[in-house]
Amino acid sequence: MAGLKFDTTKVNVYHNWNNIDSLYKKIFLSLKTDNDTGKLTASNTLYEIIVELYKILHTGQNDTPKESQIIQDVTLYIEEHYDRTISLEELAELTAITPQYLCRLFKKHMNLRPFQYITMKRIQHAKKLLSSSSLSVNHIAELVGFNDCSYFCAVFKKYEKISPSEFRGK
């Protein structure tokens, strides 16, 4: 077995493509419902596809399996803990690297800073809640990790070009 090297990058890309395929199917099923909720679900799912494509396109050939694993661990942690305050130091400790190195790796692999990715995840989950529940915007802001509803609304509008209330109305 010596000399065999397993390329985890190809496995991760293959996994991402399978995930994208399932997301496309979800879009088509959502659009078949022919109602506003289906359209909002399709919109949110399209956003998920964009994130997955982004991951694939920004995983370079020169990346080491360790770098890819660090990014995968951090993004999984963010997905599981987006609803609370996450510090850069916390993410760095998780992967046993310095905060500065984590930022460089994240920028290299995702072309985003870690906090931009956290914000994208929060907005993504907020969109799901806005389209599938009658919770107040203030409560949704809290559920996705924003302590201030006004700040949440400003960030949401920056990313989505409409306010959370307008998003819900569509």
DSSP-assigned states of every residue in 42-96: HHHHHHHHHHHHHHHHT--TT--HHHHHHHHHHHHHHHHHTTS---HHHHHHHHT
Q: Which domains does the chain have, with CATH numbers?
A: 9-169 (1.10.10.60)
Residues 27, 31, 37: CA angle, nearest 5 degrees: 100
Q: Which long-range contacts (CB under 8 A, 24 or more apart) does 90-95 make?
A: 95/70
Tens digits of residue pLDDT in 37-62: 888 888 888 888 887 777 666 655 45
Position 9 scores a pLDDT of: 42
Q: How far apart are CA 149 and CA 58, in angstroms?
A: 33
Environment class of 127 (CB within 10 Å of its CB; exposed 0-12, middle 13-18, buried 19+): buried
In angstroms and rounded to an integer, the radius of gyration of the C-alpha atoms of the chain is 18
pTM comes to 0.64
Q: Which residues contact 57 (CB under 8 A, 6 or more apart)?
A: none
Tens digits of residue pLDDT in 132-146: 999 999 999 999 999
Provide the 3-class DSSP secondary structure of residue 72: helix
Residue 17 — very low, low, confident or very high, per pLDDT cuts 50/70/90?
low
Tens digits of residue pLDDT in 84-109: 999 999 999 999 999 999 999 999 88
Position 58 scores a pLDDT of: 61
DSSP state of 131: H
